[in-house]
Structure 1
Amino acid sequence: MLESRRFVIIGFFALVGLIYLFRLFYLQVLDESYSIESSSNSIKRVIEIPFRGQIYDRTGKLIVYNTPVYDLLVTPYKARVDDTLRFCQVLGIERRDFDSLMNAASAYSRVKPSLFLRQLSKEDFASIQDIMVDYSGFEFAKSSLRTYTAPTLANTLGYVSEITRGQLEKQEEPYYRQSDYIGQSGIEKIYENELRGKRGTKFVMQNVSGVYKGPWKGGELDTMAVAGDNLYSGIDLEVQQYADSLMVNKVGSVVAIEPKTGQIISMVSAPTYDPNILASRYFSKNYAALARNPYKPLFNRPVMASYRPGSTFKLIQALIGLQEGVITPESGFTHANCPVGCHNHPATGTVALGVMHSCNPYFYNVFRRIIYKNNIQNTFKASAVGLDAWHDAISKFGIGQRLGIDLPSEYKGNLPNKKYYDRFYGEYRWKFSNIYSLSIGEGELLITPLKMANVAAIIANKGYFYTPHVIHGIGDAKKVNPEFLVRHETGVDAHNFDPVIEGMIGAVEGGTARRSRVEGITIAGKTGTSQNKRGDDHSIFIAFAPVENPKIAIAVFVENAGAGGSAAAPIANLIIEKYLTRKVTNKALEERMFKADLMSKVILPGQKKPISVDSLKKKLITADSAKKIPITKSVTAPKKQ
């Protein structure tokens, strides 16, 4: 019995010994990570950051690409700088900059490398690489600089910048590290996961001084970085730049959509800025200068600004009235007993004439019939019931909700209903006389330029739309987001669009927008004048063309420019001609719009009168104006990375 126990005990200890031996064999022979860690003085793990995906326009032109640059990193506890003055001269920095950067690195970690100087060009790197060997604790890391082929689309494309501490703490997967770049706005933010690519890892040998001695084990454990997916947009770069030029010295928006697909052709937020100034190591200073600018160039007006739609909203009123059967194409109204004024125009005996002449009393009566279903009883309850039905019909046009465009911070606007007025007046304590301003697109209605461009696309399609989107293809396969392939119906029958379109054609050919018509192109458009508490009214125009086969739908908003036909309509029609024919025939109109300075009419919040401010370029450091180590721009962009 004792003998058998002795063998059990011996066997147990023998088993434990074998397990330890196997574990030691695994750690020392089989497990490469242990070998790497144990050789940390001679073997270094290097993380390779992939190139972000590039962005193209609808014709294949490159919009955004990457310029290779180098970042200088420092590990504080290893850093040795005996001659600080010479070191600063080599890098082209001031002594106070050196102290500030070293203090920041030490505050982050004394034992981990952190960013010291970002985005040195290949030429800068080559000129100082050999000299930097004399300074231990400093090393270079390959990086890239977002570069733009044209100074346009800043708000739409967005920008990338260093990840914040809050973003680091909130990331769902441990991908980003301190000093990494991440998309912070626009397309760069929405498509961050697609654009960022996949990191690579290299193991390299170095001597005690940190000098590179070649790949470890011939690179057999290395993994290659995979570049991010390229993005293919619906933007027409040539038309975009033309639209930008027309909006110089103006505050407002341009949004152009391809009706049959929902692809964004052009998107202008004015005033704007050159996106290259936020793609430099002077990001913080340039961003601060833009943020202080009183005209808010960082504010993406096409999707964030809110306006009353004015007379452009009459198109939807007419369509709902026709669909509900409360009016017919031949319905006419007098101006008698109407609380809204009218322009001096001929009689409006049909829907088409009402649209053509933008008759306020006409659409007051249309709205009244919609609310009361032709049973004209000005009661509290009838108004509330009718308004909710009207609200539901209007919302199918995308009003009062987010359309779902692939840009951040889209404003949903305001489309009032019964609950909205109940909060102000009390339940059943308001009636039609409190809400009739909605009939002509005023009152409590608020929309974005994007929504009105989408309304133009709906009318062009005679009843449906696809969610407006900037990017229509992702990666080499040009994968399409399935949400952008869903057809949204408004519930208005196609034949009800005919009299409205007839009136829109009349508005351009002989009505409120006749002075900006384009020879040879049939354009259907509608002007709008949005009331404004500060200064002159806003100029609005929406349109689509050609009517026979619509290829572009557009909305233009110009703040404080007055009537829709004075500024917005000429700009829209010039853009339409440029897109459809690649030329402009009305050179006199074009020159007038180029020279029009309407920013001087804008009254900013907190101001009692217009101010003259030209600060879009003040205090902005670009690659060309930098006095320190210059960041070299690429002359030609690479085809693909």
Structure 2
Amino acid sequence: MNSFFARKFVIQGIFIAVAFVIVIRLFYIQIIDESYLLSANNNVLRKIVVYPARGVVFDRNGKVLVQNEPVYDLMVTPREAKEIDTALLCQLIDIDVAGYKTRMDKARDHSPYRASIFEKQLSAATYAQLQEQLYKFRGFYVQNRTVRSYPDSIAPQLLGYIQEVNEKDIERSKGFYKSGDYIGGSGIERSYEDLLRGQRGIKNQMVDALNRPKGIFMEGRYDTLAVSGEGLISTIDRDLQLLAEKLMKGKMGSVVAIEPATGEILTFVSAPSYDPNMMVGRQRGNNYMKLLNDETKPMFIRPIQAQYPPGSVFKVVAALTAQQAGLISAGTIFNCPGGYRYGGGRAIMRCTHVHGATDLANSIKGSCNTYYGYTFARMIDSRGMSGPKAYDLWREGLLKFGLGQKLGIDLPGERPGLVPTSDFYTKRYGSDKWRSGFNISLSIGQGELGITPLQMANIMAIVANKGFYYRPHLVKGIGEKKIIKDEFTEKISAGVDEKYYASVIEGMSRAVNQPGGTAYGVRIPTIEMCGKTGTAQNPHGENHAVFFAFAPRENPKIAIAVFVENAGYGGTWAGPIANMLVEKYINDTISLPKYVQDRIYNANFIPKAESKTEVKKDTSSTKKDATKRPLQGAQATAPKREYFVHHSQVNRHE
């Protein structure tokens, strides 16, 4: 009897245990494990992400710079992909069998139950062929997307491109992006990503066992609509940009033009350039690597990343800051015998000419190195304090002009340039007893100074405004309300009173419009342009041609900086480019003689790929006496700088 009851309890215990296991398993399958739910839902419902169109980008006059065009991503749910005619599918989307296996393995690694991209950005023609036979490929479906299109194929460095998100993008977005999504990769596409991307929607579609669409689930009650991204109105003038890029074809360098009254960038050219449409479509990866390995660095954004010795444009800043410090005035005269002697007369910094007795305005007109050697000496040696302390005051004045720091343009990757601290020289010379003769090359914008083309153009905007600037920017309106960011409406002082600009502007006007001026050959008959030429010496090859200007003198509409690497004289090459752009923008005409225009259009200064750039050996007596000679040992210890930062000697030619 007792054994009967014992067996009874054992059997009951077995049934209870089995029932408990079944309940636990059902709980796991229905509540915890989502694979069966996903599989069931995938057999009935397909949640299709509806990607919004990215915001369109216009130029300042309403012309389209960036628009959208449709493409199609082929999606796959690996668990559902059974009995696939692999050869047919490969033929339809133009891949090989090995490619099919690789793509399927990647999708399976992502998730066997969730859809992921099998092949992205199918063209409309490919999609049309595939659509007719898509029902044969269970587990596959097509998702509509849009990609960027560039009607004029211009300004890739400022407009940027979009790319597939990586793990860091997904992590930073806190789950907003998922694998296979696209994000702005550079340019304003990156800077304004949050506004351009819009808001994704969801469409619930019913499908049958053969993966064929059978209508909208619950009449779309649970669908969400996609919201298109905000449009952007760029500051760029499309026609001016097209002309500037045409003029810079076959050249390495930059063109930046700014509207002084607003800080809006009218033209932003980085040369050599590339067709932005290369960064769209199924060949994007191959094109990207081709551009990345190009020796001319077309993806390097020269206007904000290249750092050069400023050369002659720096004399404008030097004249203004010295007046503000009370060390010179418009009437201050220095005698120029053809050079500035320092170091007890043992060393000389050569000048462009023998200028004789020279005042401030004529020092700008003739680009007199001697004048600025004396000016720098007063700034460092004649202020009743040590050299390093006086230098720090001098440096503080430069920083107010936006040098040695980022200007805050709405582009990623801006570099600050370089204005060395006094500690740099104290460490170099092993003492704080140094004076102006130890870094005299700074007086004319050479030596260790580095400045970006954007900063060059901004200096011209400051002079045009007589003492202030607005932060340079590339977007002047966001969305239908044309909102502008607050930081681009802030008026920033350069720290020099308005009264000190008159003599500098007069000197710049004489440089262009009076015989004997360094830029007289690029004057515009109907416009009083105020400018300054420069020829920055380059120890790695031919000199760089530079020109800076604003126009007209009264109520300026444009400030411009043109920098052409390895071209030679600024007045010969950079000046005519600025001349044509300024006249085109203001008068919508170009009066420069046709033979000069043709010379600019046809010039090619891009080094040949097979030739290696060598440091030129110069044995002329002039260069032996130039600034670099007495500082040669010190300069040899200077830190290595970027490829495009060239330690130059003295500007002797304009």
Q: Same fold (TM over 0.5)?
A: yes
**Gap change, CA 1:554 and 1:603, over 3 Å in 2:** farther
Give the Cα separation in 2 of the matches to 1:588 and 1:514: 18
Residue 607 to residue 292, structure 1, CA distance change in 2 (3 Å): same
Question: Residue deviations 1:72-111, cap 9 Å, x none?
Answer: 1122222235433222222222333323322332333332
Aligned to 2:454: 450
What residue is the counterpart of 2:464 in the other structure?
Answer: 460
Q: Distance in 2 between matches of 1:107 and 1:590?
A: 59
Q: Paired residue for 2:475? A: 471
**Aligned partner of 2:218: which letter?**
K
What corresponds to 2:259 in structure 1? Answer: 258
Aligned-partner Cα distance in 1 for 2:98–2:604: 43
CA deviation vs aligned residue, 1:228-275 (integer Å, no higher than 9, x gap):
110111100100010000001100000000000001101000000000
Amino acid paired to 1:304 = Q
* Contact 1:332–1:349, Cα closer than 8 Å, also in 2: yes
**Superposition pairs of residues 481-630 of structure 1, within 5 angstroms:** 481-509=485-513, 510=515, 511-586=517-592, 587-600=594-607, 607-608=613-614
CA distance in 1, matches of 2:83, 2:292: 37
1:130 CA displacement: 1.6
| Aligned partner letter, 2:150 | Y
Separation of aligned partners in 2, 1:133 and 1:425: 78
Q: Note closer, same or farther for the CA distance 1:602–1:406 as it changes in structure 2 (3 Å cut).
A: farther
Written as runs of structure 1 = structure 2, the 5 A alignment for 1:335-354 is 335=336, 338=341, 339-344=348-353, 346-354=355-363
Q: In the alignment, which residue of structure 1 is the partner of 2:294?
A: 293
Quick check: 2:39–2:113 contact (8 Å CA) kept in 1?
A: no
TM-score normalised by the chain length of structure 2: 0.84
Deviation at residue 348 of structure 1 after TM alignment: 4.9
Q: Deviations over 1:139-158 (max 9, x none)?
A: 10010010011111111111
Deviation at 1:124, TM superposition (A): 2.8
Tell me which amino acid in the other structure corresponds to 2:526.
G
Aligned match for 1:363, one of 362, 372, 375: 372
Please identify, of 243-252 and 505-514, the stretch whose mean Cα deviation from structure 2 is larger.
505-514
- Checking the alignment, whether the CA contact within 8 Å between 1:235 and 1:470 is kept in structure 2 is yes
- Residue 563 of structure 2 aligns to a residue whose secondary structure is strand
1:308 aligned partner, one-letter code: P
1:91 aligns with 2:100: no
3-state SS, counterpart of residue 483 of structure 2: coil
Point out where structure 1 has 5 or more consecutive residues left out of the alignment.
1-26, 29-33, 376-380, 611-641
Question: Deviation of residue 472 (structure 1)?
Answer: 1.3
RMSD: 2.2
Identity across the alignment (%): 41
Q: 1:82 to 1:51 in 2, by over 3 A?
A: closer
| Distance in structure 2 (CA, Å) of the matches to 1:558 and 1:452 | 13
CA contact (8 A) 1:54 1:231 kept: yes
2:151 corresponds to = 149
Q: Does 1:408 align with 2:396?
A: no
Q: Deviations over 1:116-165 (max 9, x none)?
A: 22222333322320212111121100100100111111111111111112
- The one-letter code matched in structure 2 to 1:269 is S
1:603 Cα deviation from its structure 2 partner = 11
User: 2: distance between equivalents of 1:187 and 1:348?
Assistant: 50
Q: What TM-score does the superposition give when structure 1 sets the normalisation length?
A: 0.86
1:191 aligned onto 2:192: yes
Unmatched runs of 5 consecutive residues or more in structure 2: 1-29, 342-347, 617-654
Matched residue, 1:328: 329
- CA gap of 1:499–1:424, structure 2 versus 1, over 3 A, is same
CA distance in 1, matches of 2:285, 2:558: 38
Q: Which amino acid is the alignment partner of residue 588 of structure 1?
A: Y
Q: Secondary structure at the match of 1:599?
A: coil
* TM-superposed deviation, 1:607: 3.7
**Residue matched to 1:284:** 285
Code of the residue aligned with 1:312 in structure 2: it is V
Q: Following superposition of structure 1 onto structure 2, how do residues 121-132 of structure 1 map, counting pairs within 5 Å?
A: 121-132=123-134
Map of 1:633 onto structure 2? none
**Equivalences, count:** 573
The residue type paired with residue 240 of structure 1 is Q
Read off the aligned partner of 1:502 and give its amino acid letter: E
Q: 1:389 to 1:374 in 2, by over 3 A?
A: closer
The secondary structure found in structure 2 opposite 1:149 is: coil
